[in-house]
Structure 1
Amino acid sequence: MVTREHPTAETQKLVDWFLSPQGQQLVQDVGYVPLYPAAK
């Protein structure tokens, strides 16, 4: 995510969520490649 200035607290929370296991699962569920592949 690109912002003009330092991210606001809300923006940082969103980024943190996308990087969380839940966020990465959603990324995978909608057809994108997760940043951190799930361990098998």
Structure 2
Amino acid sequence: MKILVLNCGSSSIKYKLFDMTTKEVIAQGGIEKIGLKG
């Protein structure tokens, strides 16, 4: 089983994808400064 965890802030999105059979993080990442000028 795989579980995707999302953390959505006011100007960022972060994620982790877990494989629960092996208890490992398969992928992780994020985007920051969403909607900010500059």
**What TM-score bracket applies, with the shorter chain setting the length?**
under 0.3
Q: Which structure: larger Rg?
A: 2
Give the structure-2-normalised TM-score.
Answer: 0.20
Higher relative contact order (CA 8 A, sep 6+): 2
TM-score normalized with structure 1 length? 0.20
More helix by share: 1
